[in-house]
Amino acid sequence: MKRKDYLSRRIFLNKLTASTVGVAVTGLTASGRSGNNLSIGSNSHIEPWKQTSDRKIRIGIVGGGFGASFFWHQHPNCIVEAVSDLQEERKNTLMEVYQCGKSYNSLEELVKDDKLDAVGVFTDAPSHGRHIVEVLKHGKHCITAVPMSMTMEDLYLVREWKEKTGLKVMMAETSMYHSELYNARSIYEKGMFGKIVYSEGEYYHPHVDTAWGYNQWRNALPPMLYPTHATAYYVGVTGKRYTSVSCLGFRGDAPRYSNNSYNNPFSNETALFETSEGGMSRINIFWGAEGAHGETGRLFGELGRFDKNVLHIGKGIQAKYEGIGDRNEIEYPDNRPALPEGMNLGGHGGSHGYLTNEFIMALIEDRAPLIDVYEGIAMTAPGIIAHQSALKNGERLLIPDLDRE
């Protein structure tokens, strides 16, 4: 799928023009010494969303915690046909939030509903693999919360069923619709980074590793089994892959780290990945490091470095893109696409509205969604292998290639 260029034409560096850089590099504003003239966070310069079809996708939503924080009922091309949660209270929450009168007691019952085109799997993470396969086996498209799965066996099964059925599978990775990651994709695609020499992705969530969630699945959760908010900063930007990894873990001293269902001793993990571009990528996933909170990433390309929506331009890019002159920073505004009128953005950097729209529009337009099964697996599998490496004291391990043959 060729990505659309959503960068604005309105705001532009004084000297930098599309013709001088040879690509449509717009939506930029000079920063640093010269100051900004468009605030990050506003994408009011983007073309409004236009409805192109009257078709309605009938979706079933499962999981009334995180699953209740999307905007399916607000999308003009979507109807929430049914909802489900094993827990009565959460099932009621889903019915209320999505204004839906039909419910089932379990995902296993909901997937049999012939009226459904698609199912949203927002169940506990260890069940995702099994639940995605159950949805595909019943002939429905699937959007799943992250991660795609927690075992390699499940990932192979998800890929097998996706390829057997030809149905669409999307992973709802919220980082993909952070304004800076979205911009970094455009910059990479235009060749303005060159190859990524080194990148960093970080997900810090203090105390997430206690006994909460369905069946207490977060209790002593191995950090690298939840890698996608961080791996998205390389895999999501480049569409390239992690090929090998060496990972170390910090031993948690809470009692849960000596006795848990994962046999996991680590509360914080750091991995160094080799990339298919011949570069390096460092991922931190921490549940307990003072002051570390949130998700972010940085990219160091041959030509430019990107951090917090600012592209720091090196001599290489100045030479390659004649006309950039002696500017050394370009600051990007929010260039994410517009949403249907009245639709909310929601949590995680406003990503919930974008993820809702992207999945529905991928079905309407019959195209691969932004984070399709292969991208979702490529963000998930490296963490599973990284945790295996940490358990072997950092032994370097190869990451299997699960892309389409």
Ligand X SMILES: NC(=O)c1ccc[n+]([C@@H]2O[C@H](COP(=O)([O-])OP(=O)(O)OC[C@H]3O[C@@H](n4cnc5c(N)ncnc54)[C@H](O)[C@@H]3O)[C@@H](O)[C@H]2O)c1
Residue nearest to ligand X as judged by C-beta position: 65
Is 201 in a helix, a strand, or coil? strand
Q: Is 107 in the site for ligand X (CB under 6 A)?
A: yes
Look up residue 236 and give its two tokens.
Answer: 């999501």
Tell me which of 64, 297, 349, 382 binds ligand X, using CB under 6 A: 64
Cα–Cα distance, 136 to 285 (Å, whole number): 31
Enumerate residues 6+ apart whose C-beta is below 8 A from 153: 129
Cα–Cα distance, 355 to 70 (Å, whole number): 8
Site string for ligand X, 173-192 (x = CB under 6 A): -x------------------
Shortest approach of ligand X to residue 52 CB, angstroms?
28
Tell me which of 23, 40, 79, 86 binds ligand X, using CB under 6 A: 86
**Residue number with CB closer to ligand X (311 or 355):** 355
Is 389 in a helix, a strand, or coil? helix
Shortest approach of ligand X to residue 176 CB, angstroms?
10
Q: Is 85 in the site for ligand X (CB under 6 A)?
A: yes
> What's the burial of 99, exposed, middle or buried (CB within 10 Å: 0-12/13-18/19+)?
exposed
Q: Is 383 in the site for ligand X (CB under 6 A)?
A: no
- What single string gives the DSSP state of each residue in 135-161? HHHTT-EEEEPSPS-SSHHHHHHHHHH
Look up residue 83 and give its two tokens.
Answer: 């909802």
Site string for ligand X, 201-240 (x = CB under 6 A): ------------xx--x-----------------------
Is 110 in a helix, a strand, or coil? helix
Query: Are 77 and 57 contacting, i.e. CB atoms less than 8 angstroms apart?
Result: yes
Q: Is 345 in the site for ligand X (CB under 6 A)?
A: no
Number of residues that bind ligand X (CB under 6 A): 25
Q: Is 12 in the site for ligand X (CB under 6 A)?
A: no
Binding part of the chain for ligand X, among 56-64, 162-170, 260-268, 358-366 by CB under 6 A, reads 56-64
Kindly identify the residues of this chain, within the stretch 140-169, that bind ligand X according to CB under 6 A. 145-146
**Residue number with CB closer to ligand X (79 or 86):** 86
| Strand positions, DSSP E, 98-210 | 103-104, 118-121, 141-144, 169-171, 196-204
Cα–Cα distance, 79 to 324 (Å, whole number): 48
Cα–Cα distance, 385 to 397 (Å, whole number): 7
Residue the block writes with tokens 């549940």: 287
Q: Is 378 in the site for ligand X (CB under 6 A)?
A: no
**Residue number with CB closer to ligand X (226 or 306):** 226
Q: Is 65 in the site for ligand X (CB under 6 A)?
A: yes
Tell me which of 39, 52, 106, 393 binds ligand X, using CB under 6 A: 106
**Residue number with CB closer to ligand X (90 or 256):** 90
Neighbours of 159 (CB within 10 A): 19
Neighbours of 207 (CB within 10 A): 11
Q: Is 87 in the site for ligand X (CB under 6 A)?
A: yes
Phi, psi angle pair for 154, to nearest 5°: -60, -40
**DSSP 8-state code for residue 96:** H
Shortest approach of ligand X to residue 237 CB, angstroms?
17
Query: Are 172 and 404 contacting, i.e. CB atoms less than 8 angstroms apart?
Result: no
Binding part of the chain for ligand X, among 10-18, 118-126, 195-203, 321-329 by CB under 6 A, reads 118-126
Kindly identify the residues of this chain, within the stretch 274-303, that bind ligand X according to CB under 6 A. none
At position 139, the amino acid (one-letter code) is G
Shortest approach of ligand X to residue 245 CB, angstroms?
21
Q: Is 353 in the site for ligand X (CB under 6 A)?
A: no
Shortest approach of ligand X to residue 85 CB, angstroms?
4
Cα–Cα distance, 57 to 344 (Å, whole number): 19
**Residue number with CB closer to ligand X (108 or 160):** 108
**Residue number with CB closer to ligand X (60 or 301):** 60
Binding footprint of ligand X on the chain (CB under 6 A): 62-66, 84-87, 90, 106-108, 122-125, 127, 145-146, 174, 213-214, 217, 348
